[in-house]
């Protein structure tokens, strides 16, 4: 990539997209160089397409001048690379202008959307136009992309929590500028184009998840119908070693169909990080938190060593039976509590009229989690990224700033496990000493996202203004990943910080992936270095 190639491509992109939709000023390039990861890269320009045809034109120009492209949805991929490209000199494609909700089908419960549609936008649209339909949200905040999360195999909270399974069809621009439509959607007037994922012949849809062989420009998304009955449930336990028992008690409930939503089990540090500033004075500037201090903070904030939440949905008689089954399953573990709209509203009303601090604390803690399971994300969950900042910014507590703007460091370590108590205990016992040795606590969540799998998400949060702490974070991340691979726990999702670890074992899988990449994107224009190893590594 030469300066001349960049200049030629940028000039042509300006003619194709218009002057206003190609940016190369210092402020904008700086914005898309920011990341919560230790390492950053600098793009050559930022491109803002409005249509699939614009994306095709962008790809053709990139191929002509051999300039790599890096498509992002809305750039809120915090902890996994954010909006930052894998290397310097990429042209970043931002889909903020491609944010149309193209079609809503209330009868079959789906929408057709573009990649720039945010969680907040879709939530408000459904509330106004289809209150009988919900969406499955993540905790990434209202500005995060719906499509971007699904393409990364992200997960949410309802019985539609596996977002890959919620995609009906895709429209994708390939590296040579052609458009492919998956499922039956490439047949004109196919009546089941939006609802039958497999199509006829080879299923191509999986090629475009966690890959760089095409740029997705349109997606059909299945939506959960509003249930007749909704009951949020939660449970806390005080035993820091109790994660194995929780998993063993819950797995039969998921596999037997008694609990159909994802079930999240977060430790005390996961909750405390979004509730209070880090107690630097109490640890004399030398983390991690000692056990006695953690226990004191749990008591003060009314959280457990492990905190479980999920939901039961369906016809009222079914939910009643599910409650009985769940109570019975968790009887030896702890007391499960159930909340619905009426009981939560009553609690909120009481806190307005009566000075009951403990009740107010409990209601304020539960509300965002309750809403999340009904499809409404909340920016409060982003606040946890600020935990280790020495100078926390002033802001509305309900609307924290973008982590990149205030110097938050954040790396996710996210292995997928078999849904056994032994596997969960092994990860905690192996990871906590590594995190502690590098000066970090271990905020962790285990999610029963499916019937047989646990997705574990661990946070390395650091202050990017401190070079030594940033280096410690990278060292902790590298050691944790190496140990997880040695134990056989592979990440379900990766960032630019960990691609080389994924590729370290050269095998047939990556060889086949490279051949597919070369066939669909022969010049390796689209996001080289992301997931599929570049040809130069052969």
264-279: pLDDT as tens digits: 999 999 999 988 999 9
For residue 258, name the pLDDT band (cuts at 50, 70, 90): very high
Nearest Cα residue to 434 out of 413, 408, 455: 413
* Alpha carbon distance 124, 130 (integer Å): 10
407: left (phi over 0), alpha (psi -120 to 50) or beta: left
* Alpha carbon distance 416, 196 (integer Å): 28
Share of the chain above pLDDT 90, in %: 81
Look at residue 31 and tell me if it is in a domain. yes
For residue 358, name the pLDDT band (cuts at 50, 70, 90): confident
Average pLDDT over residues 496-500: 82
* Alpha carbon distance 131, 135 (integer Å): 10
**pTM for the predicted model, two decimal places:** 0.94
Place of tokens 């902890």: 79
For residue 212, name the pLDDT band (cuts at 50, 70, 90): very high
Q: Which residues pair with 104 in a beta bridge?
A: 111
H or E segment at 6?
helix 3-17
Same domain, 248 and 317: yes
Give residues with Cβ within 8 angstroms of 9, minimum separation 6. 44, 61, 62, 64, 65, 67, 91
Same domain, 320 and 218: no
Nearest Cα residue to 75 out of 25, 170, 147, 13: 147
* Alpha carbon distance 33, 25 (integer Å): 12
Look at residue 264 and tell me if it is in a domain. yes
pLDDT digits (tens, 9 = 90+) for 22-36: 999 999 999 999 899
* Alpha carbon distance 49, 365 (integer Å): 40
Predicted confidence at residue 381, as pLDDT, reads 67
Q: What are the distances in angstroms from CA 8 to CA 49, 263, 319?
A: 18, 51, 62
Place of tokens 């509330």: 127
Nearest Cα residue to 136 out of 376, 456, 454, 308: 376
What tokens were used for 241?
């070693």
**Furthest C-alpha separation in the chain:** 70
Question: What is the CATH classification number for the domain harbouring 340?
Answer: 3.40.462.10
Look at residue 158 and tell me if it is in a domain. yes
Q: Which residues pair with 461 in a beta bridge?
A: 410
* Alpha carbon distance 202, 282 (integer Å): 59
Predicted confidence at residue 537, as pLDDT, reads 46
Look at residue 458 and tell me if it is in a domain. yes
Q: What are the distances in angstroms from CA 304 to CA 155, 202, 267, 334, 428?
A: 24, 48, 7, 11, 16
Using the predicted structure, report yes or no on whether residue 490 has a pLDDT greater than 60.
yes
What tokens were used for 269?
């540090």
Look at residue 494 and tell me if it is in a domain. no
For residue 505, name the pLDDT band (cuts at 50, 70, 90): low
Q: Which residues pair with 410 in a beta bridge?
A: 461
Predicted confidence at residue 538, as pLDDT, reads 46
Same domain, 241 and 366: yes
For residue 141, name the pLDDT band (cuts at 50, 70, 90): confident
* Alpha carbon distance 144, 296 (integer Å): 34
pLDDT digits (tens, 9 = 90+) for 157-208: 999 999 999 999 999 999 999 999 999 999 999 999 999 999 999 999 999 9
Look at residue 496 and tell me if it is in a domain. no
Question: What is the CATH classification number for the domain harbouring 147?
Answer: 3.30.465.10
Determine if the peptide bond prior to 288 is cis (ω within 30°): yes
Look at residue 299 and tell me if it is in a domain. yes
Using the predicted structure, report yes or no on whether residue 9 has a pLDDT greater than 90.
yes
Residues 290, 467 contacting (CB under 8 angstroms): no
Same domain, 204 and 288: no
Q: How many domains does the chain have?
A: 4
Q: What is the domain extent for residue 29? A: 3-94
What tokens were used for 86?
């894998």
Average pLDDT over residues 395-400: 68
Using the predicted structure, report yes or no on whether residue 506 has a pLDDT greater than 70.
no
Nearest Cα residue to 35 out of 502, 497, 529: 497
Same domain, 116 and 89: no
| DSSP code for 382 | G
Average pLDDT over residues 524-528: 95
Nearest Cα residue to 138 out of 161, 115, 116: 161
Same domain, 315 and 172: no
What tokens were used for 174?
């390939």
- Mean pLDDT highest for which of 38-42, 237-241, 398-402, 505-509? 237-241
Question: What is the CATH classification number for the domain harbouring 62?
Answer: 3.30.43.10
Q: What are the distances in angstroms from CA 196 to CA 104, 106, 151, 166?
A: 16, 16, 18, 11
Predicted confidence at residue 319, as pLDDT, reads 97
* Alpha carbon distance 297, 292 (integer Å): 9
Burial of residue 97, with CB atoms counted within 10 A of its CB: 0-12 exposed, 13-18 middle, 19 or more buried? middle
What tokens were used for 240?
């820091």
CA dihedral 7, 12, 15, 21 (to 10 degrees): -60
Predicted confidence at residue 312, as pLDDT, reads 97
Share the mean pLDDT of the chain.
93
* Alpha carbon distance 179, 58 (integer Å): 13
Same domain, 120 and 213: yes
* Alpha carbon distance 530, 527 (integer Å): 6
* Alpha carbon distance 146, 511 (integer Å): 31
Using the predicted structure, report yes or no on whether residue 502 has a pLDDT greater than 60.
yes
Residues 171, 52 contacting (CB under 8 angstroms): yes
* Alpha carbon distance 446, 428 (integer Å): 10
CA dihedral 345, 346, 350, 352 (to 10 degrees): 20
Same domain, 238 and 349: yes
Same domain, 208 and 303: no
Same domain, 252 and 331: yes
């Amino acid at each position: 990539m030469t300066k001349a190639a960049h200049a030629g491509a940028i000039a042509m992109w300006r003619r194709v997209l218009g002057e206003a939709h190609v940016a190369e000023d210092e402020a904008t390039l700086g914005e898309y160089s920011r990341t919560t990861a230790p390492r950053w890269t600098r793009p050559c320009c930022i491109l803002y397409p409005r249509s699939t045809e614009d994306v095709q034109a962008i790809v053709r120009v990139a191929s002509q001048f051999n300039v790599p492209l890096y498509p992002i949805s809305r750039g809120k991929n915090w902890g996994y690379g954010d909006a930052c490209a894998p290397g310097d000199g990429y042209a970043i494609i931002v889909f903020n202008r491609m944010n149309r909700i193209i079609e809503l089908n209330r009868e079959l419960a789906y929408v057709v959307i573009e990649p720039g549609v945010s969680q907040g936008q879709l939530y408000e649209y459904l509330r106004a136009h289809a209150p009988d339909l919900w969406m499955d949200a993540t905790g990434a905040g209202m500005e995060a992309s719906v499509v971007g999360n699904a393409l990364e195999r992200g997960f949410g909270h309802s019985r539609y929590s596996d977002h890959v399974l919620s995609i009906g069809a895709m429209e994708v621009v390939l590296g040579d500028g052609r458009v492919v439509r998956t499922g039956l959607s490439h047949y004109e007037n196919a009546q089941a184009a939006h609802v039958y994922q497999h199509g006829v012949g080879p299923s191509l849809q999986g090629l475009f998840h966690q890959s760089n062989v095409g740029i997705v420009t349109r997606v059909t998304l299945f939506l959960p119908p509003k249930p007749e009955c909704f009951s949020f449930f939660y449970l806390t336990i005080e035993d820091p070693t109790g994660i194995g028992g929780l998993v063993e008690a819950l797995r039969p409930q998921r596999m037997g169909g008694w609990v159909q939503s994802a079930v999240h089990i977060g430790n005390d540090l996961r909750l405390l990080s979004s509730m209070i500033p880090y107690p630097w004075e109490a640890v004399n500037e030398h983390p991690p938190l000692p056990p006695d201090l953690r226990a004191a903070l749990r008591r003060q904030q009314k959280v457990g060593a492990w905190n479980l939440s999920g939901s039961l949905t369906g016809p009222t008689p079914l939910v009643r039976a599910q409650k009985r089954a769940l109570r019975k399953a968790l009887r030896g573990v702890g007391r499960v509590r159930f909340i619905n709209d009426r009981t939560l509203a009553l609690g909120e009303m009481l806190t307005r009229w009566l000075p009951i601090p403990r009740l107010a604390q409990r209601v304020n803690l539960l509300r965002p989690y309750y809403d999340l399971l009904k499809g409404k994300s909340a920016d409060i969950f982003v606040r946890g990224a600020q935990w280790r900042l020495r100078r926390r910014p002033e802001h509305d507590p309900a609307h924290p700033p973008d982590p990149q703007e205030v110097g938050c460091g954040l790396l996710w370590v996210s292995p997928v496990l078999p849904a056994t108590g032994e596997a969960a205990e092994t990860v905690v016992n192996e990871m906590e000493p590594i995190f502690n040795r590098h000066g970090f606590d271990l905020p962790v969540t285990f999610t029963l996202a499916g019937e047989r799998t646990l997705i574990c998400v661990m946070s390395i949060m650091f202050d990017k203004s401190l070079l030594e702490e940033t280096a410690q974070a990278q060292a902790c991340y590298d050691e944790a990943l190496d140990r997880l691979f040695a134990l056989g726990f592979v990440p379900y999702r990766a960032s630019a910080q960990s691609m080389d670890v994924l590729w370290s074992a050269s095998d047939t899988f990556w060889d086949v992936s490279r051949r597919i990449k070369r066939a669909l994107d022969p010049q390796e224009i689209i996001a080289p270095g992301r997931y599929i190893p570049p040809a130069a590594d052969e």
